[in-house]
Structure formats: structure tokens, C-alpha cells
Structure 1
Amino acid sequence: MKIIITGGAGFIGTALVEYLLTHTEHQLLVVDKLTYAANLTELDQFKRHDKTNHRFQFIKADICDASQVQNIFASFQPNAIMHLAAESHVDRSLTDPAEFIQTNIIGSYTLLEASRQYWQQLSPAQQQQFRFLQVSTDEVFGDLADNKQNTGNALFTETNAYAPSSPYSASKASADHLVQAWHRSYGLPTIISYCSNNYGPNQHKEKLIPKAIAQLAQGLAVPIYGDGQQIRDWLYVKDHVAALYLILRQGQVGQRYAVGGNNQVTNIELVQKIADIIDAYAKEKPKQQQWPLLTTPRRNLIQFVSDRPGHDKCYGIDSTKIKQQLNWQPQYSLQQGLQSTVHNLLAKYGHN
């Protein structure tokens, strides 16, 4: 199989590429415009490790550029598209929404049109095999507390109504609607996946977990929005990418699959867990010069700051469908995933 992975230089994208290179024999083409969040180190490693197999290719391209995208389809001749390219940081969407509209909506439209035109000229057998996987987010459903009042669902499922709260989630919801319309109107074989909050090694430092690890390791304050009681469901990135490949291979065309970690905790509890892991690690390695001398637990470094606009109180995903229909199960508990992530990032900071 030949797979195009858009946004393959990002956090989830690089984890997906690593998974596919390790566990499959597919040929991969990463398409990424290399924004600030791109992981060039991981891309270079993929290139070095794949010198003999020639299964990995990379093209720097903007998915909003229709002619460039069409040329990529014509030359690579893919069997599947895994669409991860997106602007994804909520805070940035509040200050610069135009960038999110452009990439997440216009970019997705451009990619869908290129996929449709390419797919329509394939043979019937090739059309049957082709897949377009839209990787979405649970944030398109808005605040679980509000959504629950409307549906009675204790957790988000694939049937929840869309009710996005931020420019980011609204742009992802718009892209999802386009994907569904291209399936309904043109027959393009699409599938949509929703995921809860991802975390793991190599995540960009603007996100909560790597930011908390970096600050706490240096003995610096960690800002927490509002009262810290916002609840999120945390999904280890390796569990997520395994689910994505399963959905691509076994998911039913036109269906939607929700992927969660079954790890709902408040933001304050999450950061406290990270603080405790770092304290324990520092105690094991007391002679490391990089550790700042602290007289109190790192939990005391948590600082509450003004809440951000439109901040959803609660997210949580019910993964029953993918568990029952595709036999997927997360392999990492929150404690295991956090320990792996903390130790990985501390090693990068020299605390090893």
C-alpha cells in the first residue's frame, strides 16, 4: 500500500510514521509545510533509517496549494490518505484564527478535491481499495457538560452533535463536514476518527504536558487556567496511531470512530502527577547538577492564572465502537504514559 500522510512532520504524524515503518511494509509519503511545530529531527531519522528500503519519502508542500497537491497525487499514486495536517493549538487559534481557517478548512477542501479527482480516474477495483482518513478531535463536540444535557451521553460518542467552542475546534468541525459531504455527494470512500488529548515524547513545548515537565524540571512555576478543574481524557500517542492504522485498514467507509484513553483527570491532578514523577526521579538521581535545589514538593510550583475565553470544562470519549468492532484497546495507562514521557523529556534536558 502507498500512503500519503499529511502533517507527517508533526507530533502525531511522526509517531504514525514511526509506527508504520516499524510494523508494516507500506510505502509512505509525508507531505508537510514544516511550520514551527514540525519535528525535523524525527524526519531526518526516518530518512537515515530507511536508506535501504526506500519506503519513506518527504515533500515540503502546503496542502492549500491545489496544483502542488495534484502533482503529488499524480506522481505518487496513493492507495490511501491519512489527513493529519492541521493547526491545533487552541490558544493560538484565539489570537490568530485566520491561519486555522486557511489550513484546517481550505487545506482540507483542497486535499478532498485532489483526492476526488484522482479517485474518479482509478479502476473500479482501485476505487474500492482507496481510503481517505480524516483525523479529527473530540473538541468538535464542545463541552461535554453542555453536550450531555442535550444527549444524555456520559461521554462523547460518534453520534454526538457538533458544538465547537474555539476557532480551532470550529475549523476542524468544518473540515469534518466537508469530508462527510464529499463521501455523500461524490462517493469518495472516507472515514473520520476522533481522538482525545494526545501526549507523549516529542510533543511541542506549547502543549500542557511538555510545558509542565519543562517548567517543573527547572523549578519554575507552571500556569494553570482558572481553577484547574477542567477535565480531559488523555490518550498516549502510540495507542492513538495504532488505532489510526486499524481504522484505515478495517474501518467501514462512511463511518466515524472515537478513540479515547479512558484517562479522565482534571488539569490540576494531571500536573500534580507530573510533579510527583519528577520529584521521585530527582530523588533517584540527586547528584545531577542540572536539578535545581528545592525545599518543597514541585506541586507547590503550580500557579493559577486567568481562564482563557470559551474554555470547555470537560472532554471524555467513549471508545466502545472501536473496541467492539475493530478489537482495539489502549496499551498504556496514564501513569505509564506519563512516566515514559517525563523520562524522555528529562533526558533531552540533560537530567539523565
Structure 2
Amino acid sequence: MESAQGFARTVMVTGGAGFIGSNFIRLVLAERPDARVVNVDALTYAGCADNLADVRSDARYAFVHADVRDAAAMAQAFERFAPDAVVHFAAESHVDRSIADPSLFQSVNVGGTAALLEAARAAWACRDGFRAGCRFLHVSTDEVYGDLPLDPCCSDGSDAFREDAPLRPRSPYAASKAAAEMFVGAYGATYGLPIVTVRCSNNYGPRQHAEKLIPKTIERACAGLPVPLYGSGSNVRDWLYVQDCCRGVLAALEKGRAGQVYNLGGGCALPNVRLVEAVRDALHDAGAARAAAFSVEHVADRPGHDRRYAMNCEKAAAELGWRPTTPFEEGMRATVAWYLERAGVV
């Protein structure tokens, strides 16, 4: 993929009505004036058309209401819009839901990815391989690596997962994302499809669905309800502000080497109990009065709950020129402000 000056003319974004996808679309339309964006989304419970209400009138934006598992619909979308690139966000992403219904995650995350890959392969094929400039970017997760001990074995962080670490997923969600990655890699190796994969750490920011930890904490605190926290709350996650993630995805799309994987982490590792305390502090600073009664309710731990995630992101820095730039406190303030404004709390 060429640099920003030669950015793909038309980008198909799957799952673009979701949390990260909608932020990514907004970024592309704002910073790549020559780009067109086609948003393909099934509008399941986690997708919200209003996430992109402010860009609906943009002539460079189009919406296709379709499920990535629908091979005919994907082929039709490729034929109609002739995208130069695909950025594949569409997925079932909530671990708890994957434990309750693993077959859905297999169907959407694996089957949907396979259907989309086949549609791209058919649409971009030409006599000499594939159309010049095409690119399939797959968005994955740090959870495919499995977990690490709570206590780092090395103080310098050298136990963090690099891109060549073996994949050892431990939840149905993580397994489905790892399997999807295998399909993406296989299409690159077998057919020569130009593919790139990014593995992202936990995102946070505006427009995230209320089932996720940070918006759930905000909403329950503002309602005067206790915040449920699995086990002791000692499980560690690395938090990445969504705008930084989207810039990393865009950098991988434009600069990433075909066939490569890039880790995108926030460099902000926090135990979950400290994370909800940070949300509490941001709510207090924002003047959310009802959050003054903030409390945590420890509940039975989730089965197979991963202890700690950590990724080494030196490759993305060296090859993509990407590093997260939003300090956690700044990102948390912006996140809390967005939810409070939406709820009319302040």
C-alpha cells in the first residue's frame, strides 16, 4: 500500500458501525480527502448506525447493510464499489458471550472472515495475480497469544509477546480470532493475496458498547449502582485509546508489509481494579455527582479468565512509525466526558 499521498481510493470497512470501526471511518474521512469509504455492517446489537450520523451526508461515504457471512452480499458489494482495500473489523468480540455461545463466534469470526477473503480474492484477481494496490487488513486481538503470569518474569518487559510468539488462545472468542488469522495467513501464502494483520490491545474511548468494562463502570456509577468486578480484580489489561488504535490500523494499511503482523498496544497495563478506580476518579473530576457513591462488587470469576496480557510493539514503531500518543488520563477524561454528555449527566 502506498503512502498517504497515494492512499487507496475506496476502502471497504467491515463492522464500521461498531466502536473501533466507526472511529476509524471518521478518521479516514477527516484525514484522507481523496478516499471513499464503504461501511459494511450487519447492525447487530453492538453496531449502531448513529455512531456515524455525522458522516451520512458525506458524498465519500456509503453504507451497505449486510452480514460478512453472506457470500453473495459480499460479492455484490465488491462488484458495486470496487474497493481497493478492505479493513476487516467485523466480529463478535465479547468474551462472556463467547463462553455462552461459542458457535456464534465460530460462525461470525471464522466463517465471516473466510467469506470475505474469498470475495476479495475473486474481485481482485487478474492475469498476473492481483490488482495493483489492493490490500486486505485483518484486525485481531492480543488475546490470541493467551495469558502471562500476573507477576512479570522480567522487570524490563521482555516477557511481552512479540509477533512471532505462538498463538495459545484460551477463550472461545480468542480461539475464533486465532482461527480467523489462520485463514488470513493461508490466503496470503496459498493465493498470494496481499494481507496484513494487526493485533490490538484493549481499546477504550467514545462509542464503546455498554457491555464493556469502562462504559459499564461509567453507566452503573452514574446510576448509583455497584460496579461488578470479576474475582479480586487483579487481572491485568493493556489499555489503548481508540484514536491511537485507529491511527495504527491506518498506518498498517498504508505502510505495512504484505504478509506481516503488527502488535498495537497502549503501553498502559493496569489491574482491572485499578482501571475502575481510574474511571471513578475521572467521574469525580468531571463533577458527576451520583458517582460519589461509587462502589465495587466482586463477583465470581469468569471461567478461564486470562491473567495478564502484554505485547511488544517495537515492530510497529520501526516499520509503521506508530506509537500511541494519548496519555491514559487524557483519554479517560475524554471518554468519561463523551458518555456523560450522551447521558445528559453534565
Q: Kindly report structure 1 stretches of 4+ aligned residues shifted beyond 6 Å.
A: none
Change (3 A) 1:256 1:293: closer
Within-5 A mapping of 1:60-209? 60-121=65-126, 127-145=131-149, 153-209=158-214
Cα contact 1:14–1:39 (8 A) shared by 2:
no
Q: Which amino acid aligns with 1:303?
A: E
The Cα shift of 1:123 comes to 6.6
TM-score (norm 1): 0.91
Inter-partner Cα distance in structure 1 for 2:118 and 2:286: 50
Percent identical pairs in the alignment equals: 41
Inter-partner Cα distance in structure 2 for 1:153 and 1:119: 40
Inter-partner Cα distance in structure 2 for 1:44 and 1:270: 30
Match of 1:310 in 2: 304
Match of 2:47 in 1: 38
Cα contact 1:143–1:313 (8 A) shared by 2:
yes
Change (3 A) 1:17 1:316: same
Inter-partner Cα distance in structure 2 for 1:128 and 1:272: 50
SS in 1 for 2:132: helix
Match of 2:332 in 1: 338
Match of 1:4 in 2: 12
The Cα shift of 1:270 comes to 0.5
Structure 2 residue ranges without an equivalent (≥5): 1-8
Inter-partner Cα distance in structure 2 for 1:259 and 1:169: 16
Inter-partner Cα distance in structure 2 for 1:351 and 1:334: 23
SS in 1 for 2:110: helix
Inter-partner Cα distance in structure 2 for 1:326 and 1:293: 41
Cα contact 2:10–2:85 (8 A) shared by 1:
yes
Cα contact 2:255–2:319 (8 A) shared by 1:
no
- Of 308, 326, 340, 2:320 maps to 326
Inter-partner Cα distance in structure 2 for 1:316 and 1:180: 23
Within-5 A mapping of 1:240-251? 240-251=245-256
SS in 1 for 2:56: helix
- Of 237, 240, 246, 1:235 maps to 240
SS in 2 for 1:265: strand
- Of 215, 218, 222, 2:220 maps to 215
Inter-partner Cα distance in structure 2 for 1:41 and 1:32: 13
SS in 2 for 1:292: helix
The Cα shift of 1:292 comes to 3.1
Match of 1:288 in 2: none
Inter-partner Cα distance in structure 2 for 1:64 and 1:277: 40
Change (3 A) 1:277 1:128: same
Inter-partner Cα distance in structure 1 for 2:161 and 2:203: 16
Match of 1:20 in 2: 28
Q: Which amino acid aligns with 1:43?
A: L
The Cα shift of 1:145 comes to 2.8
Inter-partner Cα distance in structure 2 for 1:101 and 1:293: 39
> Which segment is superposed worse, 132-141 or 153-162?
153-162
Q: Which amino acid aligns with 2:283?
A: I
> Which segment is superposed worse, 36-45 or 90-99?
36-45
Match of 1:279 in 2: 284
- Whose helix fraction is larger, Structure 1's or Structure 2's? 1
Inter-partner Cα distance in structure 2 for 1:271 and 1:32: 31
Q: Which amino acid aligns with 1:154?
A: D
**Deviation digits for residues 165-215 of structure 1 (CA, Å, limit 9, x no counterpart):** 111110000000000001001100100100000000110000000000111
Inter-partner Cα distance in structure 1 for 2:179 and 2:13: 20
Inter-partner Cα distance in structure 1 for 2:265 and 2:341: 28
The Cα shift of 1:154 comes to 1.4
**Deviation digits for residues 48-75 of structure 1 (CA, Å, limit 9, x no counterpart):** 3x1xxx1100000011111111111111
Inter-partner Cα distance in structure 1 for 2:291 and 2:255: 52
Match of 2:63 in 1: 58
